[in-house]
Amino acid sequence: MAKAKTPKQLEISIRSLKRKISLLEAQKKRAVAAKKKTPAKKKRVVKRKAAKRKPAKRKTVKKKKRR
């Protein structure tokens, strides 16, 4: 039996499907524009924000006191 997909995996697959749909729509727009001989309007792409990562804690090295 196949394992059930995790919510994260489902989220990723949904996102990729949405992307495919938008690419197909853009392709269709270009085809229609080519038929009508008018420039196709591009859809504005929303950029995803990168996940903020906490900086790694660095071990502090004790400095030797100068005499």
Q: What is the pLDDT of residue 43?
A: 72
pLDDT digits (tens, 9 = 90+) for 18-62: 999 999 999 999 898 888 888 777 777 777 777 788 777 777 777
pTM for the predicted model, two decimal places: 0.48
Query: In this structure, what are the phi and psi dihedrals at residue 20, rounded to the nearest 5 degrees?
Result: -60, -45
Question: Rounded CA gap, 17 and 12, in Å?
Answer: 9
pLDDT tops 80 at residue 12: yes
pLDDT band at 1 (very low <50, low <70, confident <90, very high): low
Q: Which residue has the higher pLDDT, 2 or 29?
A: 29
Transcribe the chain into DSSP letters. Answer: -PPPPPHHHHHHHHHHHHHHHHHHHHHHHHHHHHHHTSPPPPPPPPPPPPPP-PPPPPPPPPPPPP-
Residues in the chain: 67
